[in-house]
Structure 1
């Protein structure tokens, strides 16, 4: 049974405000009250779906939304939830893991608000068409009976109501200013709905800005200055590079400096580097309550599934495929490759463009500008070890190095120049279906090299035709096509990178996802870069190959999530609904390394040592280790986001931040002063005790319970049911109700019972 706040005389309820009784976020009562309202909302959602009128607009909208999508739409559109009311925050961080339908959620919310809040969508140029298609899909869902011409007209009107801005444009901030001309004035976000897709890219852009003139910082200032703004930040990977990313995120949502904007101050008060943990965890949680929506395919997705484990939903229709544990392929470099690699590493060290300081900016606690990582103010670019990283992937012979990959001779592409690519091709041959291959690099050392290795193994590049039929299949250059299936006789690969036009990207995805490609009959391997991977929604992927580690583990998760998606494997038999990821890590040539280590001990016998740097860990291994270490700290913050999210209590995530509803302010506006206050959140806990029933004389409307406790005031405790908590709480000993109950103890009581 929960402990409870005292119940005194009737007083004004400060946990709600305004004519709509909007919830006040800065109240200890907020967590239990919002959970209670969301439970009611779930019942309303079920009732809407049960309606017989299939043409009802609200039913049509709800029928196409999962409850967690319906929840966000309701919270953003219903004033009772307090978004933008009574000094509350202005929007939500939509922390939904990849494949959960964030774009669909955003479109549904925007269309519900667009009459009062014109939507502005900030999205990567490559993903804009994907967003437009989602708008068209939602319009089709709302108007199932329209003939095609009328439907297309409505879709066109709907798309025009969205203003799209490319987040990767050189003049992104100016585009936002241009798109926002209107009642709020030019360059103003007043009265708008701002949707930012892949919002982690914006957060990183802000904290990596050398000054206030960058696009990201200019947008930050526009958001902070805006009035009557609503915000949806969409991301599956918040706090992936550094926990400091959360500062611009939540400050923009709050419209004030909810978190310290100085990097060193934030780390001093909220980050324990030694333990990779959070300092002042409870205080930070209080400040973030009500600002996050979080769902994941490993968690229950609605209150009706609160007791269902993530594994129970794997492989089921409409669910996720099973992601098998990643295979780490530690691939030894060839001797010549390792020699080239060491020379590159030595040059990087000599030029001072790398070194250990490049791995962990969070460990260099110096004085930095507001909203900036240490060192970002210099504006200096980083090589990020590009030369040594690409040589870890592929080391062409000296006489081929100056040629483009396409111009290199066939015999260059062997196990000697890239043991990694050879291993990848070998693993790909065992795939029971289509595969996704990712590299950070496009040219030398990246996708172009992998493509040549695939060609050496008998693959041909899939080429799109101008025809709309047959999924755009054009016979490969050798003309070999199976007459019965119209599929290429040789296995095909396709490439999607930043240079691929948006319409071709969409068509390639359609071919990959087509029923005729269930086992890779049309496209066996899809090669993607970072730009190419974002926003892809693939079906039936059986293998994911990540060609090199990245210093940010969330990048690996994002790539895997292109093929591990909601309902992505429903067309396959249950036993085939699984995805096997691979990560390729180049390690030292052991024979050469041992020789270098011996020669370094005997300098007189060290001719190689004079020219080659000795490192026991390769750059791939360092990146992988650093990613795992940073992941531990960042994951601590992501776990906190789960505990303070709107869905935590109603969906039964566990360890939810629930406070006893005392109506006390949950936090001080000043984050530093807040640290020196006692934590007002007395967390709710439950226990079972044996009690007896009692009622007030002349009042049968409320049932109370009591138990004798020698240490309690007057030797007894009384309990009453709290609708907000959905549990029993103690009655305040100082209240008149308590004394009336105490006097009634001499009267009749019920049998003992357990509550």
Structure 2
């Protein structure tokens, strides 16, 4: 709300000047605001001003806001958790509130959404943005809404705005259930035209988004401001005033009347970091320059590092309303406490911050006890490993005075490990060498900063893991003394150099082959006491933390998350330790880090060797999400596997290792343990890591008793001293900051614009909930009486005794019950806010019943979420009066909603009289059609004379069908078989007697030679009998030939052979060939029990000339060996079998690289052999013959062969197989490579190599199309 210039004094023209907190005009503004705060005139017809001390109270008194109260009702936690886990998406009350609060109906311009984890901040922001977009559209403005966020969050914003995967067609119209519901679809299809293509809907919605939204990163936003600001400014010729005036004018032209939404606004906080400072300064100058902007800030932690950050945020929002600015010193003293009121002053620091924050902050708590997993800290599951039962060190890190925090919740929940004996020597040596520097730092330090985190980096890395050093040249000098004296460089014992000095490995940073791996212990390591120092048995000497993690994983159930900011000094040695336990790397693209795995793979549940007798389960695997391409070339595939619903117990990925860079924007699921290797200098970073695992509905697929996460924040006990370790010191410093921030957070909650509306969210403390539940932890421990709810003196309670707080007001009002609601500003827009959702619920209810009593209908609408009565009545009235609004009953009949007294009834459209009986409403009118038109599309292959002649009618089997011209049928089939036999005999000839060929020789000569090489290679070494090898090769050859003829010829052959069992070409070899064709068809037959309990078999064909789906399939069924075309019920049974039985049995066992047959788009009679890797989601498969170079083809062949081996197979073994296939030649021929790839894939498929599927026929690929994503 911009102030009138005339009130600001003659020297204060804010369109021309940029003022700061010391400016005379700024002091005048602050004085004016204070005076107005004490002279507020109440007027229910207006919204409260920002100077009103009863702001949140008057907001809550407005009916449009009063209807959006937070539901803090205490339910049975387990029952409510299960209800909400299965509830469809719906906007929460607080999301409706902020949408109304920052709408064009209100005078407010800026808002900070201080909303916790899982509250849907993005969805809240979208509601506000869409409200503003409506204004832009209606006023025909072309300016865009600016969304400032990281790339990951930008993509998430777009997805939540419109996720095409959520599109559903209902009665010919597209619907979507997301943040904006059907708003965008209604905008592009206002007339509700039916059967618009999905592609057109997606195209038009994306066009709207691109027209009205601009997505930029933080640095990009800063550059954007600076670019516009300096446009056409002559810095050489113009005076400073002229430059200044032009820059302000430029920004006004570009940004006036814009909405700017900044996600995670704490990322651009005003700080000493150069990049952050630059962005903050750019935004500050923009806000000072532009007019009528709307600012929307999002953050779950508005003060990321220290309490001072709130001043910049509050000033930015006040500045946008042309209000006075404050300084840090106005609010806080040097110790970070609120400044007390001095003599002659009218306000304390707390009072000033309350006044300046009024009207700018919306607070909604994060985790709730119903949809979030419970955090279980060591003080609950391992109290003997915390400072509750372990003596707290009496000295600080340097042996000086110990500074205790007023609250020690964080330090009391650290999981304490006893430093390893070798690790202790290294740590002591580092501390001796750093002693003087750290003492200087401590003396220069104030209460806020304590010891510099950067000075503690080396001892902290040492407490992660201390690498062995070669002391053979030091004689009797200990490691501790050698480091202290400088004989051994500190860096040699930790991090990158520590890893480098103990391990040999490849570290390739070239863009085409980025890799870090093939780790091998150095010889000096293996020849002495440090041999295999990363094994579970030995690692405790070097890392007490990693030893505990290994032990916890060994007895864990579910998925485990490990975090470290360090790669060489954290995640890499941790990954190597996991491999030493037998946990292998997930994914086909990245081998394990060790060059030769040191242990046999272990089973993911028992953590016992996979070679244990009868163990056919999955091996334990780990994923690395680091953001470093050398270690994580495929972050997306590892994230997808980790969050796959089938990974709820760790079957696909048991352990996830993440760094800060790799975890940004990553939402994980099913995490049962979180291990945080080292601390950070503030708790915001730690909370972000825990927040990756503790997510809204992240554990809903687990049983209620397992919806919990064990949290391990590691600290160290030094054992031989009373000093605290470096990691504990940093946690204590972070705790100190968190307590200071907690004091400010509590004030923001008290002054928040929705304080009264959301007051019941403080009900979730464990005393108010007063429920104890049974929880089973990941390590198998059972908490029989776990108290649900917020814990006292925790972050969620701002480190205070409890989470209860009083909303700021001068009228001594304590709750909503004391507020008189007024509807002066309540208009139709607010009444219709939930209209579409309520109407949708009403339509669903009338599919179940034909009439409802008014109270019963309202009760059903309000389950499980309640709506204001005014909105329900408005929706009912809208449905009754709107003649275009139809209901649909359980039979699919259209009808209208009518109201008679206290009843709401379904009125069929064909009946006009509203006083009909219930029977007449519910029973459709009998009607006999004069005729029924059936339009049948006959697949083109069915138009073939032979096939049409074999099509049965009147339920006769094909055995009883006699062709009009049987001689024609015989001639056609004979030609098909003879053509194939010619190719077959050529291949067999060169298979049995291979010759040296030239590239121009016919294909099937090359096929025969290739088959011979394959037979004599180690690929078929498991078959000892030569005759069995020949049989296997001939089977593959016949399959190849049959899959390369047209579908029409294949159907003709099938039908003729079924009706003519004695068909043969005469010669013995030809007869044997026909028998192999019959075997081919036998192998392609599906047999199952139908819906009536009868066993039958089916042959499946698809016409490549039309879009092939299950509905278009050509099915031949057999009851007792008689074949006929499938009728309706048979077809339904077949489709159900394919969807419910066959596809589920196949989809989880598809190999990562597979082959399949397809037909050309231009010529549906020519089959193509294609190859695809499952990880290439966007690829639809590559024709092998179209691959340009022999090298690329050879690489694919090598990939297929390598995938058939165990992951620990040396590369030399794979090269041996490749050389076998070359058969003594220097290289493959161009034709050979694709033949090898196809025949090996078919052979592996026939033997179900590794219990995986390697090859799919055309029919199978059609049935699996949506899973394989191929064409």
**TM above 0.5, one fold?**
yes
> Residue 543 of structure 1 is aligned with which of 673, 678, 684?
673
Aligned residue for 1:497?
Answer: 626
Alignment CA distance shift 1:507-1:114 (3 Å) = farther
Quote how far apart the aligned CAs of 1:225 are.
2.6
- Unaligned 5+ runs, structure 2: 1-38, 72-87, 137-142, 168-175, 186-194, 232-247, 341-346, 380-413, 471-491, 504-516, 522-530, 591-598, 605-609, 611-615, 763-803, 825-1271
Distance 1:321 1:255 in 2: 40
Distance in structure 2 (CA, Å) of the matches to 1:562 and 1:212: 24
Of the candidates 451, 458, 462, which is equivalent to residue 391 of structure 1?
462
Classify 1:63/1:430 alpha carbon distance in 2 versus 1 (closer, same or farther; 3 Å).
closer
Residue 258 of structure 1, CA deviation:
6.6
List gaps (5 residues or longer) in structure 1.
1-11, 47-61, 84-89, 299-309, 365-374, 376-380, 467-476, 595-615, 660-680, 689-719, 727-755
Alignment match, 2:533: 412
1:148 aligns with 2:213: no
Determine the C-alpha separation between the residues in 1 that align with 2:738 and 2:443. Answer: 18
- The farther-off stretch of 528-537 and 388-397 is 528-537
Does residue 222 of structure 2 align to residue 173 of structure 1? yes
Match of 1:112 among 109, 128, 131: 131
| Paired residues of 2:62 and 2:823 also in contact (CA < 8 A) | no
| Contact 2:287-2:319 at 8 Å conserved across structures | yes
Partner of 1:66: 92
CA shift, 1:136, in A, is 2.9
Change beyond 3 A, Cα 1:498–1:324: same
The CA deviation string for residues 299-351 of structure 1, in whole angstroms up to 9 with x for no partner, is xxxxxxxxxxx5xxx2x4xx222222345321122232222223333444445
Deviation (angstroms), 1:504: 4.6
1:200 equivalent among 266, 274, 283: 266
Count of residues in correspondence between the two structures = 567
**Under a length normalisation based on structure 1, what TM-score does the superposition of the two structures give?**
0.66
Q: Which residue of 2 aligns with 1:36?
A: 61
Within 2, Cα distance between the matches of 1:73 and 1:500?
Answer: 41
Judging changes above 3 Å, is the alpha-carbon distance between structure 1 residues 425 and 358 closer, same or farther for their aligned structure 2 residues? farther
Alignment partners' CA distance in 2, 1:212 and 1:101: 26
Following superposition of structure 1 onto structure 2, how do residues 442-453 of structure 1 map, counting pairs within 5 Å? 443-453=567-577
Q: Distance in 2 between matches of 1:222 and 1:110?
A: 20
Q: How much has 1:393 moved relative to structure 2?
A: 0.4
Please state if 1:566 is matched with 2:618.
Answer: no
Shift in CA distance, 99/63, structure 1 to aligned 2, threshold 3 Å: closer
Contact 1:495–1:526, Cα closer than 8 Å, also in 2: yes
How far does the alpha carbon of each residue in 1:474-511 deviate from its partner, in whole angstroms, 9 at most, with x for none? Answer: xxx9999999xxx9832111122233699954443332
Q: Secondary structure at the match of 1:545?
A: strand
Cα gap change, 1:687 to 1:255, in 2 (>3 Å): closer
Mapped partners of 2:822, 2:105: distance in 1: 19
Aligned partner of residue 77 in structure 1, secondary structure: coil
User: Are 1:436 and 2:576 matched, yes or no?
Assistant: no
| Equivalent-residue separation in structure 1 for 2:147 and 2:55 (angstroms) | 30
Between the aligned partners of 1:462 and 1:687, the Cα distance in structure 2 is 54
Q: 1:721 to 1:524 in 2, by over 3 A?
A: closer
In structure 2, relative to structure 1, the CA distance for the partners of 1:335 and 1:359 (3 Å cut) is: farther
In 2 relative to 1, CA 722–446 (structure 1 residues): closer, same or farther, beyond 3 Å? Answer: same
Match of 1:343 in 2: 429
Distance of 2:556 and 2:542 partners within structure 1? 24
**1:668-707 equivalences in 2 (<5 Å):** 681-684=810-813
Q: Distance in 2 between matches of 1:423 and 1:621?
A: 17
CA contact (8 A) 1:545 1:581 kept: yes
Note the alpha carbon deviations across 1:16-44, whole angstroms, 9 max, x for none.
69xx9443221234222211226655279
For 1:254-269, list aligned pairs within 5 A.
Answer: 254-255=318-319, 262-268=327-333
Output the CA distance in 2 between the equivalents of 1:107 and 1:687.
28
Quick check: 1:135–1:158 contact (8 Å CA) kept in 2?
no
Counterpart secondary structure, 1:526: strand
User: Is structure 2 residue 77 aligned with structure 1 residue 25?
Assistant: no
How many Å separate the matches in 1 of 2:653 and 2:712?
19
Corresponding position: 1:621 with 2:746: no
- Checking the alignment, whether the CA contact within 8 Å between 2:559 and 2:673 is kept in structure 1 is yes
Aligned to 2:1130: none
Q: Is the 8 A contact 1:96 1:102 kept in 2?
A: yes
Distance between the aligned counterparts of 2:649 and 2:229, measured in 1? 47
Report the CA distance between 1:360 and its aligned residue: 5.2
Match in the other structure for 1:58: none
Q: Which secondary structure does the structure 2 equivalent of 1:585 belong to?
A: strand
Mapped to 2, the partners of 1:526 and 1:178 lie a distance apart of: 42
Partners of 2:678 and 2:714 within 8 A in 1:
yes
For 2:314, the equivalent position in structure 1 comes to 250
List aligned pairs for 1:116-131, cutoff 5 A. 116=136, 118-131=144-157
Deviation of 1:586 (Å):
2.2
Q: Which has the higher contact order (CA 8 A, sep 6+)?
A: 1
Match of 2:374 in 1: 322
Distance 1:354 1:152 in 2: 62
Distance 2:558 2:700 in 1: 14
Q: What is the alpha-carbon distance in structure 1 between the residues aligned to residue 446 and residue 197 of structure 2?
A: 58
Q: Is 1:655 the equivalent of 2:726?
A: no
For residues 422-464 of structure 1, the C-alpha deviation after alignment (integer angstroms, 9 at most, x for no partner) is 11121223332112221122x2222222211111111112226
Kept in 2: contact 1:644–1:656 (CA 8 A): no
Corresponding residue of 2:214? 163
Q: 1:643 touches 1:655 (CA, 8 Å); kept in 2?
A: yes
Structure possessing the higher radius of gyration over alpha carbons: 2
2:653 pairs with 505, 523, 526, which one?
523
Structure 2 vs 1, CA of residues 262 and 725 (structure 1 numbering), >3 Å: closer, same or farther? same
Pair 1:398–1:287, CA change in 2 (3 A): same
